Amino acid sequence: MPVFHRKPVLVPTDYSDASLNAVRVARSVAGADTDVTVVYVAQDHDLMLHPLTWTAGALPEYQEKRLLLGLQNWSKDHNLGDVNLTVRKGDPGTQVCELAEETGCKLIVIPSHGRHGLQRVLLGSVAERIIRHCHCSVLVLRRTKDPESVPKPAEDWFPRRWVVVPIDFSDASSMAIETALEVTDDRGHIDIVTVVPALDQIDFGGAVVVSDAVCRRDCEKYMQRYLTERGYGSLRTHAFVGDPGIMIAEHASEADADLIVMPSHGRSGLRRLMLGSTTERVIRHSDTPVLVLRVDVGKSVG
C-alpha cells in the first residue's frame, strides 16, 4: 500500500514561467490532467473595484468570469490539456489551503520565489504559508535564476534519480524514508541525513565539549541502528554538525540530488517566527526541489 498519495494535485499560478513549469510537473505527477486543478488567486490590484468592496464575500460574477477567461486563455496558449481551472480572491496562501481542503487535495505543487530578508520575516513567502497551514503534502520546486530558461519537466517526473531524506528518528522520519523508497528508482540512490545542531554537543552540567568528529561518529552509529531495526539497513547515511537547514541544502547540492523528502512538523507561534522550521530553512537555501510531507501520526502521508 503506497504511503505517498500524489493526487489530486493543486497548483497555484501567477502566470510566471515558474508556475507554468509547476503545472507541467503536476500533470506528470498525477498522470491525468483531470486530477490537476490550477488556481489563480486575485488580489486587490487584479480587481476593478474599491478595496473595501471586494475584501469580504465572494467574487462578483463578472469579475470571476473575466479572471477565469484569462486563466483559460493562458492554459490554452500553453497546451495544458484538460486541467481543472478556478479563480479565488484574497490572500494566496490562505485561499490555496482552503481550496485544497475543499477539494480533498493530496499534493500541492508550487515554485519557490526565494524571497529573503525582512520581507520574509514579516510576511513569509506564499510557499511557506502553504506549508505551515495546509493539511496535505507540498512539492516546492526551485525558481531558476533566469526565468527564460525554466526547463520543461520530463514526461514522468517520478521516479527521481537521487533522493536525500533528512531524519530526526521520529515516526515521521520513517514515513519520509518509505516515501523516498516509493519515488526513487534505486534504493542505492537514497541518502539518509541527520544534522546535529552545534549547541547540542555541549553538556552544560559538566562543561564537556564533544568534538565534531566524535559527534558525527556517534550519530552515524545511532543512524545505522535505527535503520537496521526498521529494515532500512542498506541505505547510506551521512551525519553532520551545524545548521540543519543549511547543511541539508548543501549536501543535496553536492550530491546533485533530484529531490529532498522531509516531513513538516507544523510548529507555530513565536518560535516559528523567530527561528523558522528546518523545513523552511531548507527551502530557502536549497537548489533542489523539496517534497514536504504533511504527517499525522498513525495516518498515511498526503
| Cα-to-chain-centroid distance, residue 236 | 23
191 lies in the same domain as 246: yes
131 lies in the same domain as 177: no
Residue 145 has pLDDT above 90, yes or no: no
Entry pTM: 0.86
The count of residues in the chain is 302
Proportion of the chain above pLDDT 70, given as a percent: 77
Burial class of residue 207, CB neighbours in 10 A (0-12, 13-18, 19+): exposed
Domain end call among 110, 143, 158: 158
**Which contacts of 143-149 are long-range, i.e. CB under 8 A and separated by 24 or more positions?**
143/18, 143/111, 143/112, 143/113, 143/114, 144/18, 147/16, 147/17, 147/18, 148/17
How far, in Å, CA of 297 to CA of 282, rounded?
23
- CA nearest to 139, candidates 100, 168, 171, 172: 100
Residue 296 domain-assigned (yes or no): no
Domain end call among 104, 123, 158: 158
100 lies in the same domain as 202: no
Residues 56, 28: contact at Cβ < 8 Å? no
Q: What is the pLDDT of residues 86-137, one digit of tens each?
A: 999 888 899 999 999 999 999 999 987 654 444 443 344 788 889 888 889 9
145 lies in the same domain as 6: yes
Domain end call among 158, 173, 197: 158
CATH code (residue 187): 3.40.50.620
17 lies in the same domain as 80: yes
Residue 96 domain-assigned (yes or no): yes
Domain range for 210 is 159-260
Q: Number of structural domains, the chain? A: 2
